[in-house]
Amino acid sequence: MTKPAETALSRRKLLGVFAGISMISAAPVFAGTTGYLKGAGNIRRVTLRSGRTGENIDTIYWIEGQYIKPALEEINYFMRDWREDAVTNIDRRQVDIIAASHHLLDTNEPYQMLSGYRTARTNAMLRRRSRRVAKSSYHIKGMATDLRLSSRSVSQMVRAAVACNGGGVGRYSRSNFVHMDCGPLRTWGR
pLDDT at 14 over 60: no
Angle at 102 between CA 83 and CA 70, to 5 degrees: 60
Q: Specify whether the CB–CB gap between 174 and 159 falls below 8 A.
A: no
Give the model's pLDDT for residue 167: 95
pLDDT band at 1 (very low <50, low <70, confident <90, very high): low
What residue type is assigned to position 44 of the chain? R
pLDDT at 178 over 90: yes
Q: Are strands 111-115 and 43-49 parallel, antiparallel or unpaired?
A: parallel
Give the model's pLDDT for residue 88: 97
pLDDT at 126 over 70: yes
Those residues whose C-beta lies under 8 Å from the C-beta of residue 163, and which sit 6 or more positions away, are 9, 10, 13, 14, 101, 104
Collapsing DSSP to helix, strand or coil, 57 comes out as: strand
Q: Specify whether the CB–CB gap between 115 and 145 falls below 8 A.
A: yes
List b or e across 113-143, with b for residues whose CB sees 16 or more CB atoms inside 10 angstroms.
bbbbbbbeebbeebeeeeeebbeebbbbbbb
Query: In this predicted model, what pLDDT tens digit does every residue of 27-82 receive, in sequence order?
Result: 333 333 333 343 345 889 999 999 899 999 999 999 988 999 999 999 999 999 99
Give the model's pLDDT for residue 37: 40
Give me the domain span that covers residue 62.
4-189
pLDDT at 190 over 90: no
DSSP 114-125: EE----HHHHHH
Distance CA 30, CA 36 (A): 7
Give the model's pLDDT for residue 65: 86
Question: Can you give the CATH number for the domain in which 185 is found?
Answer: 3.30.1380.10
**Domains in the chain: how many in total?**
1
Q: Considering the chain, what percentage of its residues have pLDDT values greater than 90? A: 68
Give the model's pLDDT for residue 101: 94
